[in-house]
Structure 1
Amino acid sequence: MSSIPSAFTPGALYIAGFAQARAPHVALLLPTDARSGHLVHIRIDRGTSPNWQYQHRIQKIQGDMFLSSLLQIHDVSAGAISVHDLCEAASAVPAPENDTFGECSRWVYKVVQQLAESMLLVLEDAAAEEEFDAFAAGNRAYARRDKFPNVAVSQFCS
């Protein structure tokens, strides 16, 4: 297993990218440690609904073969964001009523805006969306059980 990058901090908030066939699936992750954390995202479960559904769950970090990217958007040293705060902000943003590919990233950025409006993080520039897209695009090689996801710190959020 590759070592844990120094930019990774339990308790910080990350935009997470998961490798899939086209663009990465995008979510928000609040790690409790290097092994796991709390994930909020939207997903389509074609068995029960053809539309996006909000989900909060525990997510494996170290050793997950699809998690490739973690972009820190809020450091715990600036004040903790609780799981309750994260879930409350995520629940306030409606899931799209369609099954269009790519909605997950748009939803995540709306949750980030909600967190900023709630004064839980600072969003300095809307370019954070493009920042994550550019960062995650080169991280497919990190989607392996023996690699820790690639970690970076946002220039536009804190």
Structure 2
Amino acid sequence: MSSAPPEFTIGSLYIAGFTQARAPHVGLIIPTSNQTGCLVHIRIDRATSDKWAYQCRAQPIQSDMFLSSLLKLHDISAGPITLDQLRAAATAVPPPDNDEFGECEAWMAQVVEQLHAANLIACTDVKGLVDEFHAFAIRNRTYARRDKFPNVAVSQFCA
């Protein structure tokens, strides 16, 4: 098992990218340890509506087969973002009322804007951030393995 790189810090805020067939699935995560964190994201709710639904859940970090990318948006050393603050920003952005592929990235960008508006992070360019994340995550398919820690980088657009 590969260990966490120095860019990974417990309590910091990251965009989490999950390897899928067409494009990465995207959410926001605050790690509570090297093994797990709190993930906020949207997913298609096939059981009840076939539409996007908000979800907040514990997410394995180490040993997860699909979590391949972590892009740091805010380091805990600049001040903590609580799980309640992350959930509040996430629930302020309604999930899209459709079942179209790829909506999770746009939803995540709106949550980042909420976090910025609440002065919890400083994001200089949300579109640049989304492009940066997409270019980073698309290269990380080889990290989608149980024996590799997700690839970690620090955003040039957020602090």
* Pair 1:149 & 2:147 matched: no
* TM-score, normalised by the number of residues in structure 2: 0.98
* Pair 1:16 & 2:16 matched: yes
SS of 1:151's partner is: strand
Question: 1:1-158, aligned counterparts within 5 Å?
Answer: 1-126=1-126, 127-158=128-159
SS of 2:55's partner is: strand
Which digits, 9 at most, give the CA deviation of each residue in 1:7-29, with x for residues without a partner? 00000000000011110000000
Q: Distance in 1 between matches of 2:85 and 2:56?
A: 12
Equivalent pairs counted in the alignment come to 158
Which digits, 9 at most, give the CA deviation of each residue in 1:36-89, with x for residues without a partner? 000000001212111100000000000000000000000001110000000000
Percent identity over the alignment is: 62
Report deviation, 1:148: 0.2
Which digits, 9 at most, give the CA deviation of each residue in 1:96-140, with x for residues without a partner? 000000000000000000000000000011200100000001000
SS of 2:3's partner is: coil
Give the superposed CA RMSD. Answer: 0.5
Report deviation, 1:3: 1.8
Letter in 2 for 1:100: E
* TM-score, normalised by the number of residues in structure 1: 0.99
**Runs of 5+ consecutive residues of structure 1 not aligned to the other structure:** none
